[in-house]
Structure 1
Amino acid sequence: MRIMGLDVGSKTVGVAISDALGWTAQGIETIKIAEDQEQFGFDRLEELIKEYEVSEIVIGYPKNMNNTIGPRAEASERYAEGLKEKFSLPVKLWDERLTTMAAEKMLISADVSRKNRKKVIDKMAATMILQGYLDFKKI
């Protein structure tokens, strides 16, 4: 069984999946959503959960730098609750402070164009969130 990592935004959800042993994370895709219209991409997530036999979901939890919870973290909490209700899987929130910024810096250093960065940034952030979680579980 694999673990799914998600980087949830208001317009997209980056998706990553672990290998079968839970050692490495790989970006899968970016799903377009419309948070303001309550379209959360759950249908596509359901397909991926079945395809990869997902047993657990980890969602990036964007706390503020002073460890407080802001609007985006609250949105992640609501998203996590929706996933729990729909899929009856364990869903964990994982501190993702600076993950998207780190992904952006990595893509810039790899000389990826702004247009191409926009296409993969959320998927890469999901990969970094999931890899951090997997590394922590090994300790």
Structure 2
Amino acid sequence: MKNIFLIGFDFGTENIGVAIGQTITCTSKPLSCIKSIRGIPNWKKISEIFQIWHPNAIVVGLPLNMDGSTQKITIYAKKFAQELRKKFIIPVNMQDERLTTIEAKSILFNVQGYRGLKKKLINSQSAAIILNSWMQNMN
């Protein structure tokens, strides 16, 4: 099995969580959080991350309501995924991200207490959870 290096995104109109992962061990780790300005991602920062990590594929969280229906942010996340595909010309996958924020908060609280519950840490931890979930569904 070939090792695939991944970058995962937890898209938000103000903050975008970023994580990296790879398929040999099916592990990921939170990387950073990128600010968006008026809903527009900081493409310069995203490009810098791609230049450092050289991923083979991308996974973007798909925000859905608990009943599986779409919401306004779902459309924005899909547009973000399309832009990533155009700009970096590598496969982009969408992964259901329901409950990842709750799971991320739980992980961070267990490790760092209330100090860990910062938005940028939550978003990047959520991106790592999204990557892990996608890798588990791959197998």
TM-score w.r.t. the length of structure 1 is 0.88
Alignment correspondent of 1:92: 93
Aligned pairs (5 A) from 1:17-96: 17-19=20-22, 21=24, 23-36=26-39, 38=40, 40-96=41-97
Question: Cα deviation per residue 1:84-116 (whole Å; 9 max; x = unaligned)?
Answer: 1111111111000010111112223345225x4
Structure 1 vs Structure 2: percent identity of aligned residues?
A: 28
Find 1:11's aligned residue among 11, 14, 29: 14
Residue of structure 2 equivalent to 1:108? 109
Contact 2:23/2:135, CA 8 A, preserved across alignment: no
Between Structure 1 and Structure 2, how many residues are aligned? 135
Following the alignment from structure 1 to structure 2, what is the Cα–Cα distance between the partners of residues 70 and 123? Answer: 21
Between 104-113 and 80-89, the greater mean CA deviation after superposition: 104-113
Partner of 1:120: 121
How far apart are 1:48 and its partner, in Å? Answer: 1.2
SS of the residue 2:136 aligns to: helix
**1:3–1:22: 8 Å Cα contact kept in structure 2?**
no
What is the distance in 2 between the residues matched to 1:83 and 1:22?
25
* Cα distance in 2 for residues equivalent to 1:108 and 1:124: 12
Unpaired runs of at least 5, structure 1 = none
Question: What is the RMSD of the two structures over their aligned residues, measured on CA atoms?
Answer: 1.7
Residue 30 of structure 2 aligns to which amino acid in structure 1? G
Deviation at 1:74, TM superposition (A): 0.9
CA separation of 1:107 and 1:16: change in aligned 2, threshold 3 A? same
- Residue 90 of structure 2 aligns with an amino acid whose one-letter code is L
Q: Does 1:134 align with 2:139?
A: no
Q: Mark the runs of 5 or more structure 2 residues left unpaired by the alignment.
A: none
Indicate how the Cα distance of structure 1 residues 16 and 73 shifts in structure 2: closer, same or farther if over 3 A, else same.
same
